[in-house]
Structure 1
Amino acid sequence: MLLDARKVFDRGHEGDTVAWNSLLQGYATAGGVNALREFFAGMQGRDTVSWNTIIAWCVENGEYEEAIAVFREMLASMECLPDRVTLVSVISAITYLGALAQGLWAHAYVCRKGIQVEERLSSALINMYSKCGCIEGAVYVFENLGPKMSVDTWNAMLAGFTVNGCSKKALELFVKMEITGLVPNKITFNSILNACSHGGFVEEGIGYFEKMTKVYDIEPDIAHYGCMVDLFCRTGLFDKAENMIQMMPMKPDASMWKALVGACRTHRNFELGRKAGHRLIEAAPNDHAGYVLLSNIYALDGNWTGVHKVRKLMLDRGVQKLPGSSSIKIDGVIHEFISGDKNHLSKEEIYKMLSEMCQKLKVAGYVPDTSQVLLDIDDEDVKESSLALHSEKLAIAFGLISTAPGTPIRIVKNLRVCGDCHNAIQLLSKIYGRCIIVRDANRFHHFREGSCSCSDFW
């Protein structure tokens, strides 16, 4: 059909902007990337709709850097002005990249040009600030929107508080939302139940789950059940977690088994952890996380035969473990580290700072948690040395030598931050007077003055 449309177009619609945009949308929907870009480059009289189409296509297809580049090209071309639709797409791209500096620039552009911040744009801004770890920015946007806010805007702020470890604030916001008379929906309760899970609020979580079903007549979906299972697991209420899994009307997904295995590791429930670990592998046989979690359960229990069996199973199935890495952006350049990394150009300065960090941590009373080293060795010194070289600590060391005193340090970890690093970073935030923000696979951790926003419950 696209070829037929192009033939009709070529017979007499060259000056029709609406026709150009319709065909461009056709290429965005069904055409190949090369054909789309070629057609866009050759368009006559491109307007805001034209640019919005190509930017939205970039975002939908994961080309986030390209979306921002096209936006800059749009501004430079001076063919037309961006509108709210443009900014929503651009800010969404920035959110996926976690690029706070670009997000601040985009927000400033909105303010400078007097673009009205309506529902979609406000939600995009709140989401961007939240997922870049700048909850203060999200709150600023939310509080300056005025009384006419939709449920979606409230949901964005609730989700922002939750992912940044501000569980109590999320619960307080939900109360305010109800007072306004707005009716919460499924997404609202997903955020509020997540907040209860991340904060360890068992009674509140049970209460909200009942309110969702009995007061608002909302049928729980697997995400809601997953939040409750996660809440019970985090608080060590394994009987309640198992009962929830058995009573829910759908089959448990991998995330539930993952929550159960992770909690069993934390609470040293090895028997249940082994059972749940095998169920996790059955549910997601190609995901490395299940094998790693089950292997860790065996290792903590001192069952090295079990560890070797799980690793052999991974090898036989061709499942590769994702190596842990931490990254930090300095002056627009992303620097990535893996455990024991010695490939960085500033490795000498980094390891000198790392040595200083270890000395200051020791003076501050830090004791390495060698139980986090799941290796079949008895030498505690070797275990402590292994912990000192974790990617999070290397990234922080680089941040300390590369930024001015008092500047926040922002780290992105591709996996869950380990317990030892969590303890160490709390102390480092106090020792160096820095706000250290770590975005791991689950949430943000805001370390300030020796404590974390998660209140050591994550």
Structure 2
Amino acid sequence: MSSTIPASYSPPIRNPTKKPIQNTNLCLLLLCNHLQEAKQIHALMIKSSQISDAYSASRLTEFYAVSDNGSLKYAEKVFNSVEEPGTFIWNTLIRGSLNKKKPHKAILLYDRMLCQSIEQDHFTFTFILKACTQLLALAIGRQLHAQIVKQGLEYSGFVRNKLIHLYAICGLIIDARKLFDTSTELDIVTWNSMLEGYADNKDGESLHQLFDRMPVRDGVSWNTMIAYYVQVGDFKDAIEMFRQMQDDGERPNRVTFISVLSAVAQLGALAQGRWVHTYIGKHRIELDENLGSALINMYAKCGCLDGAIQAFHETSQKNVDTWNAMISGLAANGQSLKALKFFLKMELSGVWPNEITFSCVLNACSHGGLVEDGLRYFRKMKDVYGIEPDIAHYGCMVDLFGRAGLFDKAEEIIGKMPMKPDAVMLKALLGACRIHRNIEMGERAGLQLIELAPYDHASYVLLSNIYAMGDKWDQVHKVRKTMWERGIRKPPGCSSVELDGVVHEFVVGDITHSRKKQVYEMLDEMGERLKLAGYEPDTKQVLLDIDEEEVRQTSLGHHSEKLAIAFGFISTSPGTTVRVMKNIRVCSDCHSAIKLLSNIYNRDIIVRDSNRFHHFRNGSCSCMDYW
């Protein structure tokens, strides 16, 4: 039995030789491209009494309920006009409710079916189980399972696949597997339902075993695996699975590309992202709002704004997410004024901004030091668009004032906002205290941050930074001791550079790379040229009380981003932009050094850390030394 649900199906006709009356109207209905046209045919059916024919009424209901150009309200009107609606028309209305994202309504319709003793078939249970899955309504699903068994439909491929999916997505993976193992017919949908269940439950060992056992795989199978790797943060494996998918001869689709672009964005693997973009263009795949947004986001997170802007202009359908991706990308890459210009274009285009849009806009103002603009947009958000500021918007304002050194304003807005500060806001305030050397406020904010996020390593590191800045090494030790006692560890710094589609990773003091000899020779050369340029290591960035000054300087010189840049220098021709991705925040010492390196070697160096992008060029950085 095939488990593919047909787009539509016909109700049983008691007298097959008898043709439905007024067949012309039904033919016209098939040609409908607009709701208004369907309403005219509806009027003709009423005028000719055709609407009283159950078959004709069911077909009209189907158009209204299921068609993209239909209307659930009109479907219900036709349904209510039928004296004794049969199973098909009930199923059609349930299906239409699902299409319109109204699963609660679908379940209420099913309840009415039961109350009126209407016969259910496997389509009914397929649709209602889908509604239960969308709502995670496990209790109702179990009741349905009992009714399915009672009616002898438990071995229907349609129904069994939906049951497996429901149990799996609700976390009852053992129950799902029992159904899978007792299925008499395992088609691709059954396998995929079980596969998706393991992926949703992050059960990697079982997921791989099932995938390896699959006799046949389709696009859904591969997409499930790729999406799983993205979900658990195994971005390299996601890209590797994408390659295997192509080797297997399976053609990727939009869903594939959205997952792959997400993985590429996280790795900063620009060359691979460009390959995906070229593939999309070569196969004439339309850039809709979802795929277009993913492509824009990928380029922006790889620090390639020209690519992001190109993808934006190629996107045929631009919704608020598309604009948000572009504005956010520009803001994160230090192009605050361009970000605000795009927001103005968005307003002129008629796209209504949402709360995420204003977070992007306020971030742009914050990163660009545009205090007056930030205040204006903060007021406009509520006064013009009726959007109440949330914690993210207040956080942007605190960041905005903090960057400008307006600590009174920052404290004032914290005192007035209708919620308590969150960790993101306090981290922004700590960053401002570090830049403006406000040790007193930084200590208060840091202690509050540790209380709010006691198991976040960044809370302790940021407070340590503040104490180290004030030469309070006893307090640095105290913070580090508390961190150690609580079992909290700072993740090691890791930086990566992509070369010819391969991502090369480095950790502090790395000696594992195949070209380590050349990397360290380059690192020594960089150190000598930095000294000649007047560079002095900021040894306070080594937040351990190490007495030997030379040891401190060596530790700084071997930070992962410097190793990655050295590898980039020896692996590319002069003048080539070097792109580095780092998992944690760039320290002040490395930031100062990289500014000089960009000038010494006449190279553009782009570093993406956990906070933002740094575009180094001619001895300066796009972040204006604030991050």
When normalised by structure 1's length, the TM-score is 0.89
1:254 aligns with 2:423: yes
Higher Rg? 2
Given that 1:158 and 1:191 are in contact with CA atoms closer than 8 Å, whether structure 2 keeps it comes out as yes
Change (3 A) 1:288 1:37: closer
Matches within 5 A, 1:116-131: 116-131=286-301
1:429 aligns with 2:598: yes
Matches within 5 A, 1:382-421: 387-421=556-590
Q: Following the alignment from structure 2 to structure 1, what is the Cα–Cα distance between the partners of residues 357 and 517?
A: 49
Residue aligned with 2:385, SS: coil
Matches within 5 A, 1:100-139: 100-139=270-309
Q: 1:352 aligns with which of 513, 521, 524?
A: 521
Matches within 5 A, 1:37-436: 37-78=208-249, 80-146=250-316, 148-331=317-500, 332-338=502-508, 340-341=509-510, 346-369=515-538, 372=541, 387-436=556-605
TM superposition shift of 1:128: 0.9
Given that 2:180 and 2:190 are in contact with CA atoms closer than 8 Å, whether structure 1 keeps it comes out as no
1:5 aligns with 2:179: yes
Q: Following the alignment from structure 1 to structure 2, what is the Cα–Cα distance between the partners of residues 20 and 398?
A: 45
Given that 1:2 and 1:31 are in contact with CA atoms closer than 8 Å, whether structure 2 keeps it comes out as no
Matches within 5 A, 1:29-40: 29=200, 32-40=203-211
Change (3 A) 1:243 1:353: same
Q: Following the alignment from structure 1 to structure 2, what is the Cα–Cα distance between the partners of residues 30 and 356?
A: 50
Given that 1:196 and 1:231 are in contact with CA atoms closer than 8 Å, whether structure 2 keeps it comes out as yes
| CA deviation profile, 1:277-312 (whole Å, cap 9, x unmatched) | 111110111122222222222222222332222222
Residue aligned with 1:335, SS: strand
- The alignment-based identity, stated in percent, is 58
| CA deviation profile, 1:43-89 (whole Å, cap 9, x unmatched) | 455433333333333333334333333332322222x4322122212
Q: Following the alignment from structure 2 to structure 1, what is the Cα–Cα distance between the partners of residues 207 and 517?
A: 48
Which has the higher mean CA deviation after the structures are superposed, 41-50 or 309-318? 41-50
Which has the higher mean CA deviation after the structures are superposed, 365-374 or 407-416? 365-374
Q: Following the alignment from structure 1 to structure 2, what is the Cα–Cα distance between the partners of residues 64 and 161?
A: 24
Q: Following the alignment from structure 2 to structure 1, what is the Cα–Cα distance between the partners of residues 391 and 419?
A: 7
Equivalent position amino acid for 2:273 in 1: G
Given that 2:269 and 2:503 are in contact with CA atoms closer than 8 Å, whether structure 1 keeps it comes out as no
Given that 2:435 and 2:626 are in contact with CA atoms closer than 8 Å, whether structure 1 keeps it comes out as no
Equivalent position amino acid for 2:261 in 1: I
| CA deviation profile, 1:253-283 (whole Å, cap 9, x unmatched) | 1122222222212111111111111111101
Q: How many residues align?
A: 452
Residue aligned with 1:446, SS: strand
| 5+ residue gaps, structure 1 | none
Change (3 A) 1:346 1:195: same
Given that 1:354 and 1:393 are in contact with CA atoms closer than 8 Å, whether structure 2 keeps it comes out as yes
Residue aligned with 2:241, SS: helix
Equivalent position amino acid for 2:204 in 1: V
Which has the higher mean CA deviation after the structures are superposed, 353-362 or 136-145? 353-362
Given that 1:5 and 1:23 are in contact with CA atoms closer than 8 Å, whether structure 2 keeps it comes out as no
TM superposition shift of 1:378: 8.6
Equivalent position amino acid for 1:88 in 2: I
Q: Following the alignment from structure 2 to structure 1, what is the Cα–Cα distance between the partners of residues 203 and 549?
A: 57
Given that 2:603 and 2:617 are in contact with CA atoms closer than 8 Å, whether structure 1 keeps it comes out as yes
Q: Which has the higher contact order (CA 8 A, sep 6+)?
A: 1
When normalised by structure 2's length, the TM-score is 0.67
Change (3 A) 1:302 1:18: closer
Equivalent position amino acid for 1:87 in 2: F
TM superposition shift of 1:242: 1.4
Q: Following the alignment from structure 1 to structure 2, what is the Cα–Cα distance between the partners of residues 366 and 420?
A: 10
TM superposition shift of 1:29: 3.8
Given that 1:350 and 1:394 are in contact with CA atoms closer than 8 Å, whether structure 2 keeps it comes out as yes
| CA deviation profile, 1:205-229 (whole Å, cap 9, x unmatched) | 1111111111111122211111111
Change (3 A) 1:262 1:27: closer
| CA deviation profile, 1:427-450 (whole Å, cap 9, x unmatched) | 211221212111111111111232
Residue aligned with 2:615, SS: strand
| 5+ residue gaps, structure 2 | 1-174
Residue aligned with 1:410, SS: strand
TM superposition shift of 1:201: 1.2
Which has the higher mean CA deviation after the structures are superposed, 314-323 or 161-170? 314-323
Residue aligned with 2:607, SS: strand
Q: What root-mean-square deviation, in Å, do the aligned CA atoms of Structure 1 and Structure 2 show?
A: 2.7
Equivalent position amino acid for 2:315 in 1: L
Which has the higher mean CA deviation after the structures are superposed, 150-159 or 254-263? 254-263
